[in-house]
Structures are given as C-alpha cells and as structure tokens.
Amino acid sequence: MLDRILAKRIVPVVVLDSANDAEPLAEALLAGGLDIMEITFRTAAAAESIERIAKAFPEILLGAGTLLETDQVVRAKEAGAVFGLAPGLNPEIVAKAKEIDLQFSPGIMTPSDVEQALSLGCQLLKFFPAGAAGGPEMLKALAGPYAHTGVKFVPTGGISSKNLADYLALPVVAAIGGSWMVDKKLVADGNWSEITRLTKEALAAAAAVGA
C-alpha cells in the first residue's frame, strides 16, 4: 500500500456533494495519470461515492478522509476504502481502524502527536495543516528526531503544484495531499478536463523532484 502511495506521491483530497460526480471525477484523475483518491467524510455523499468508485474503478487505491467517528471508519471500509486518514489523532479512531484492519494515517502537528501516533502503531502520518504549521521547514525540523523510527509523512494543507516539490524533496515525505486539482468549483462545474490538466501538471512537478 505504502509502495503505491509512494509511486505517484500525490493524494488528491476530494469533497463530493453529489455521488453522481464520483465516477466522472475518478475518470478525470485516471486520465491525468493518478490512480489514488481520498474521499472525505465531510459530506453525506462520501460513503456512496467510495462505493461507486470502488465498483467502477477497482484499479484506484481508495482512501477515506476526515474520519472523525468510529462508525465512519466502518462505513468507509464497507464502502471499499483501503486506507483512511483524519486531520487529527483520535486514539478511538486508530483503535477502530486497527480492529477492522483498515490502514489508517492520523493527522499530527507536534512532536507529542508524533510520539503518540508511534506508540499506537501508526507509521504513515498526515502532517496537517502543513502550510500554516510552517511548511517544509517545520516538517523537516519536526521529523528530525524520528527519522530512525521509519515514520513517514503525508503533508496536506496549503499545497499545490507550485510548492509540492519543496515537500517531496524531504526524505521523510511519502506523498503530499491536496485539494487544488479537485477543487469543489471544478467538480461543481463538471470541468473534468481542467482536473485532468491539473493532475498531469502535479504529476510532472512531482516527477521532476530528484530527477
């Protein structure tokens, strides 16, 4: 799983108001070369969207984001998500994900958060909100004492094609997350070609790192 996240190094963070947009959005991302998605449980359409994408596009590595309640963890897995994330670290959510065998990445922002996550057995952590928390410089300093543990991070929040390379250049960064290429307005307008274009642009920027 980590290998697949590492391969493309970009996780689009999706908020869908209507599950009818799920398949065309997945198609637009695939056309841009991205076969991974995080569908957030911020709308009532989340579970159905995951279900529809899992059915229509089994090649997509599907994650569920913003998992704030244990029943959302269960619904995400039942719908077909294979990994989960949250903006913060809630031990109850971590425990439920472990119980039902859903790979889960809690959100962290401080050394204490990182240590709690490690003690709960989490090795891939969402660094959120990355930009506001201090960006790549902050993450580099935060991760320094923990590099030997093998912990990896997915910074999210305030990232776009313009600055993703600064994060991906850090060895502790597995991938970055972001909503810019799947912006709500683009989805509402059905602007799938622009989503595909932004996806290609993001992947090119990521591929250029270390090239």
- Which residues would be at the binding site for ligand 3PG (CB under 6 A)? 13, 65, 87, 128, 156-159, 177-180
In this chain, which residue has its C-beta nearest to ligand 3PG? Answer: 179
Residue 185 annotated among the catalytic residues of the structure = no
Q: Which is nearer to ligand 3PG, 57 or 180 (CB)?
A: 180
Residue 103's Cβ-side half-sphere holds a number of Cα atoms within 13 Å equal to 15
184 labelled catalytic: no
Taking the least distance from each CB to ligand 3PG, the nearer of 82 and 157 is: 157
Q: Which is nearer to ligand 3PG, 12 or 26 (CB)?
A: 12
Residue of 113, 170, 121 whose CA lies nearest to 141: 170
**Nearest-approach distance from CB 127 to ligand 3PG, in angstroms:** 10
Residue 25 CA: distances (Å) to CA of 33, 35, 117, 148, 206: 13, 11, 32, 38, 21
Q: How far is the CB of 179 from ligand 3PG (least distance, A)?
A: 3
User: Closer CB to ligand 3PG, residue 10 or residue 22?
Assistant: 10
Which residue lies nearer to ligand 3PG by CB, 106 or 178?
178
Token output for 169: 């250049």
Supply 210's token pair: 């270390």
Between CA 99 and CA 40 the distance in angstroms is 21
Work out how close the CB of 107 gets to ligand 3PG at its nearest, in angstroms, rounded to a whole number: 8
Residue 37 Cβ, how far from ligand 3PG at the closest point, in Å? 12
Q: State the minimum distance, in angstroms, from the CB of residue 136 to ligand 3PG.
A: 15
Which amino acid, 84?
G
Out of 38, 48, 51, 152, which one is annotated catalytic? 38
Among candidate residues 8, 77, 96, 126, the one labeled active-site is: 126
Active-site positions? 38, 126
